[in-house]
Structure 1
């Protein structure tokens, strides 16, 4: 027979233990709170303000008026005024714009005849969300065009003209997989040493905090590079995902991102007191990175506060690097802001982690 008194004692004991475990209690409240804020406030599928450029080769009163009307829709943020098609290509490759509005020299003639599209929107097809948002403008009414005319706006998808989903998702999955494995592995590394009593042996050695930290990190760098290779091979064999840029540039970007993820994991390991707590804290960092980086939801649709927070997260910058190199054929010199942000995150996070590493059992 079950003794309710003994059962009550066990329940009371667990409740008291949870009360003493502040991290678990914080997770109980923090995870649903964070999910509610992210999904309810930061995640917005109605994309507005895509960074865009204008190439108005006609430069007439009607062309300028049309550009102003399209800008008023707020789908495109027409922040660049260009003079040559080459400038459009350079900005798209570097990831500085997501779309370009191009009006040809014979814009007025096309507008009146109605036999050809009067203007063209060139879209960065490496992001499917950008494609969908740009297609909204394809039905934008043009002055003087009849309903039976050729559509006035032509949408040209660069880098993924077939709109294949794997072309967009597979490069992003490299970052997601590395985030989950690298952070989790290293978050448990130092904690495991403490729980197994191995720190007792390290106390008697002249190992410095930097040596101890780097010694824990370096083995996982090779593991991360192996994971990158596996995803690239499977993406090529199963989904025919292209690699338009340099393989060396891709591995260099992945190496910096792996170091950034490992630095975050080591920092977490200095905060946690058990492997379970390390897993909890690692999971707590996964959600913001996956939801705010632009992997699942459009970055441009997020409010400014969420975008500022996303700029701190390593996955945000790696997605820009991996999509730029694999799909747009960009080089590291063109994507240097994202690479510099990852390097800065690595140095700062690893520096903080090293200062927290202690060779004392307490």
Structure 2
């Protein structure tokens, strides 16, 4: 082995890395992003869960109990309603994760030693179920002591009942499989289209495409359409296996599930096209794709509780298509929600797709000029 020739190769590789700005950014940026995400954004302790309150008693003691629950920091009130049915509607739409119900006969129940309150939980997220169990341990010390209460009163730990909906068995597969559809579509769709334009350029086909009467819009949309079919096939495979192997329920319309998947597919394809207009090689396209996929995986609520993230991180996560798809697919499959009940997330995916397509087409024209 000739050390001089070996050293020449090392110098050559270092110079090549220096000219490759994308690789340099990945070398430094990826560890920094992971450190910030795991150290600052990801938190297993849920705080500030969106909660609805139905205090049908309206007494000083019932209000004191509700305040004690809020003071734990586990829940934050977003709505006050009159009946438990209204709370159930909000749970189905995904507006709240927890509903607190105080019955009209709160005082009589407290005297008789019966359950004095119920906590309604969206069981599609097992982390929320665990947090609700902690909330049920709220003591009743703040309520004024009643000397008429018998000595055999219900202990505080059983005075508040937790009622879990949509996943009472706490099966992790019920929570994971719907989200896995989105993760697979995000990983594959972005990657497929991210290398689409770059591959045409590397193979020398771009000059032929430029010579054709195709417009930039026609070329971009033509690149996207075949992958929509591929994405729907992937959705069908994951959905069929989830129902067959893990008994994952589909309580809503199957057409709504495919509508949600199609919106995510188009959003990811549009983002992949934008990446392809910026990357100079297929390797760079794959690097940028991984850089985009990592925050989507960690911040969307698939792996880690969304409610446990700091508020600024949650605002950033609202930009990610996977965040909205998880709410859509879990709402439709597990809670039986209709598109009209989850329209904000549908609208967010449509807006993201339109914005990415406009940027991709505009950037593609600039590169052709």
TM-score band, normalised by the shorter chain? Answer: over 0.9
* Residues 204/359 of structure 1: CA separation in 2 closer, same or farther (3 Å cut): farther
2:84 aligned with 1:77: no
**What is the distance in 2 between the residues matched to 1:67 and 1:25?**
53
Which residues in structure 2 correspond to 1:128-139 (within 5 Å)?
128-139=126-137
- Normalised by the length of structure 2, the TM-score is 0.95
Say if 2:297 and 2:303, in contact at 8 Å, map to a contact too: yes
- The aligned residue for residue 329 of structure 1 is 336
**What is the distance in 1 between the residues matched to 2:62 and 2:154?**
19
2:36 aligned with 1:29: no
Say if 1:179 and 1:261, in contact at 8 Å, map to a contact too: yes
Of residues 78-87 and 176-185 in structure 1, the stretch that sits farther from structure 2 once superposed is 78-87
Say if 1:47 and 1:133, in contact at 8 Å, map to a contact too: yes
Q: CA deviation at 1:273?
A: 0.4
Stretches (4+) displaced over 6 A:
145-148, 359-362
- The aligned residue for residue 255 of structure 2 is 248
What SS does the aligned partner of 2:341 have? coil
Of residues 325-334 and 99-108 in structure 1, the stretch that sits farther from structure 2 once superposed is 99-108
- The aligned residue for residue 87 of structure 1 is 86
- The aligned residue for residue 118 of structure 1 is 116
2:53 aligned with 1:54: yes
**What is the distance in 2 between the residues matched to 1:315 and 1:229?**
18
Q: Which ranges of structure 1 fall in alignment gaps of 5 or more residues?
A: none
2:212 aligned with 1:205: yes
- The aligned residue for residue 236 of structure 1 is 243
Please, what is the CA RMSD of the aligned residues? 1.5
**What is the distance in 2 between the residues matched to 1:112 and 1:3?**
91
Q: CA deviation at 1:141?
A: 1.2
Q: Which ranges of structure 2 fall in alignment gaps of 5 or more residues?
A: none
- The aligned residue for residue 13 of structure 2 is 14
**What is the distance in 2 between the residues matched to 1:27 and 1:147?**
65
What SS does the aligned partner of 1:74 have? coil
Which residues in structure 2 correspond to 1:47-196 (within 5 Å)?
47-114=46-113, 116-143=114-141, 149=154, 151-196=158-203
Q: CA deviation at 1:358?
A: 3.9
2:213 aligned with 1:214: no
2:234 to 227, 251, 258: 227
What SS does the aligned partner of 1:273 have? coil
2:283 aligned with 1:276: yes
Say if 1:126 and 1:323, in contact at 8 Å, map to a contact too: yes
- Normalised by the length of structure 1, the TM-score is 0.97
Q: CA deviation at 1:138?
A: 2.0
Work out the number of aligned pairs and report it. Answer: 360
Say if 2:112 and 2:153, in contact at 8 Å, map to a contact too: no
Say if 2:115 and 2:154, in contact at 8 Å, map to a contact too: no
**What is the distance in 2 between the residues matched to 1:94 and 1:361?**
46
Say if 1:317 and 1:339, in contact at 8 Å, map to a contact too: yes
